[in-house]
Amino acid sequence: MAKYKSGNKLLLVCPCDSGLDFLVCCSPFLSGLAPAPDARALMRSRYTAYTRDDQAYIQASWHPDTRPAIVSEQEPCQWLGLRVISHQQDGATATVEFIARYKVGGRAGRMHELSRFVCEDGHWYYVDGTFPD
Ligand SMILES: [Zn+2]
């Protein structure tokens, strides 16, 4: 996680590319202090969870109907950056299109995904995704 100094405090830039301090960005969602207010915020926080290998949050933010039993990565994956392309909400459903860059086994790659989300009881959940590329 990138670090920067503000006054005499050492802050951490959130991996989700918001440019915000982690503590006021995705941290409240990952720690369960607050629900993500919309699908875009949830998607960003899930990306941050992947960068931290926070399996509990990845599971919890995945809709029970589509959640895999175990979220495993074959090889350690280094997440390099996130760019949210679009966010469209229609009532209790939403889509978020994004590109995430990563490195696996020394090889760089990019994942372009159009993710679907649903809101139930005030909590947004990741449902599934398609790959436009
Ligand atoms: Zn964040």
Q: Where are the domains of the chain?
A: 3-130
User: Which of left, alpha, beta for 93 (phi over 0: left; psi -120 to 50: alpha)?
Assistant: beta
CA 113–ligand 1 middle distance (angstroms): 18
Residue for token digits 């005499």? 8
Strands 3-6 and 107-120: unpaired
CA 68–ligand 1 middle distance (angstroms): 24
CA 89–ligand 1 middle distance (angstroms): 20
CA 2–ligand 1 middle distance (angstroms): 12
- Other beta carbons less than 10 A from residue 129's beta carbon: 19
Going residue by residue through the chain (133 aa), what tens digit of pLDDT does each one get? 556 666 666 678 999 989 999 999 999 999 999 999 999 999 999 999 999 999 999 999 999 999 988 766 667 789 999 999 999 999 999 999 999 999 998 999 999 999 999 999 999 999 999 998 7
pLDDT of 28 reads: 97
pLDDT of 75 reads: 75
CA 110–ligand 1 middle distance (angstroms): 19
How far apart (Å, rounded) are the C-alpha atoms in residues 129 and 116? 6
Q: For 3-130, CATH number?
A: 3.10.450.50
CA 132–ligand 1 middle distance (angstroms): 24
